Amino acid sequence: MTHSRISLASTRSFACGLLPMQKRSLGGLQAKGAALGAVFAVLLGMASCANAQQNAPAEEPSTLILSDTLHYDDIKRQSIFTGNVVLTRGLMKLTADRLEANEDAAGNQFGTATANKGNIVTIRQERPETFEVIEGKGLRAEYNSGTSEFDLIGQAIVTRYICGKPFDTIRGERVRYNEKTGVYQAQGGPNSSAPGGRVRSFAAPRAKADAAIAECRAAKGGSNAKAKQGG
């Protein structure tokens, strides 16, 4: 099957509506805001026009999307990717069955990534400098540039891994992050990934996480040193 390949330097971006939700700030996890924000910011923060691309930083990574089909409507400012969608941008990777991108007249970008029945949307962001990986899963992912909010919806799980081991996890029906305020919000419901339809958040002590990063850095450094000696 032929895959469409497209660099988002040539497309317009993104549209979806965000549903109202009860605010439940997870203050203890706000320190991880930058990490989750990075995950979603690259999820659908794609170029909306040539102007935006010209003003983009030179170091901004390219975006590649693989899909079975692509429908692009310049008049509607809409792009729809379907079938085994894989979006890669720098150290971030998104997988979904369908990705829809829209832009309104004011230039606000909206995006929706969805999964077919039995599948999930996954977002994985690597942070090699701290040996961390932030991974989000859900039946749906949404982004609204106007409010700077990112959502994972339906069986939502966001996990931080250090050296391959899970440390912090948020579960709910919906998990939202606001990149401007650095605040997490989570909502329970019948489609929550936590037991009883509740919100469940687990955060390891900061000292334990820092120790794991230091241990991983020492181990990786030792391996690199041995490799250099052997070469």
Look at the chain and count its residues.
Answer: 231
Q: How confident is the model at residue 6 (pLDDT cuts 50, 70, 90)?
A: very low
Using an 8 Å Cβ cutoff, are 140 and 114 in contact? yes
Q: In the 3-class helix/strand/coil scheme, how is the chain assigned residue by residue? A: CCCEEEEHHHCCCCCCCCCCCCCCECHHHHHHHHHHHHHHHHHHCCCCCHHHHHHCCCCCCCEEEEECEEEEECCCCEEEEEEEEEEEECCEEEEEEEEEEEECCCCCEEEEEECCCCCCEEEEEEEHHHCEEEEEEECEEEEECCCCEEEEEEEEEEEEEECCEEEEEEEEEEEEEECCCCEEEEECCCCCCCHHHCCEEECCCHHHHHHHHHHHHHHHHHHHHHHHHHC
Residue type, 128: P
Q: Compute the distance between CA of residue 165 and CA of residue 69 in angstroms, rounded to an integer.
A: 36
What would the pLDDT profile of 100-138 be if each residue is shown by its tens digit? 989 888 888 888 999 999 999 998 888 898 899 988 899
What would the pLDDT profile of 209-221 be if each residue is shown by its tens digit? 999 999 999 988 7
Instruction: Decide which of 138 and 38 is more confident.
Output: 138
Residue whose C-alpha is closest to residue 138's, from 97, 103, 166, 80: 97
How large is the average pLDDT for residues 56-76?
A: 82
| Topology, domain 4-204 | lipopolysaccharide transport protein A fold (2.60.450)
Question: Which of 5-19, 83-97, 149-163 shows the lowest mean pLDDT across its residues?
Answer: 5-19
How large is the average pLDDT for residues 65-72?
A: 95
* Per-domain boundaries in the chain: 4-204
**Whether residue 88 has pLDDT greater than 60:** yes
pLDDT recorded at residue 68: 97
What would the pLDDT profile of 168-190 be if each residue is shown by its tens digit? 999 999 998 776 776 778 999 99
